[in-house]
Structure 1
Amino acid sequence: MKIGVKYCGGCHPLVDRIAMGAKVLKALLPLATFVPYEDGEAEKVLVFVGCASACPDVRGIKGEKLRYIGSDEDADLFLYEMERVFRNPGQSN
């Protein structure tokens, strides 16, 4: 699975978006390949944000592909969902 990755600029960080991103990416290796968020072949696009504004520009990315991660809870939920996907690849969530 190809997953696009985008980080906010960190202008008002309330959480460490870089650490959250590292946690998620490390957990998904080697099951996923990470690509720039603009890659048209990305099945999902993760947007790591440091505050509730969630303001990174992701115009042109279909909404169903986007997943904003702005807390440890968001990261854990996404990893749980991906565990289910990788365990049962023929089923959709």
Structure 2
Amino acid sequence: MYVILVYDVGEKRVGKMLKLCRRYLHWIQNSVFEGEITPVKLKELLASAKKIMDMECDSIIVFKSREEKWLDKEVVGKERNELGNFL
């Protein structure tokens, strides 16, 4: 499945969350990640994230789609982390 993950966590936890999310998805902008991920890997990511989060004030939002082709993406301004094709 293709996901866009957005998180909002306290300053003290941002570094840990960034590091965790980069292991599973592509960083595209501050606190925003995207990419293909299996349901099992997503569950693993969210379980690890919950260990970092303060559930009283932090949040994660996950937008899911069957495939990237079902999602139109438009970037206005500079794209922070361009995803290029590489061999």
TM-score, structure 2 length as denominator?
Answer: 0.31
Determine which structure has greater relative contact order: mean sequence separation of CA pairs < 8 Å that are 6+ residues apart, divided by chain length.
2
- Larger strand share, 1 or 2: 2
Normalization by structure 1: what TM-score? 0.30
Which is greater in Rg? Answer: 2
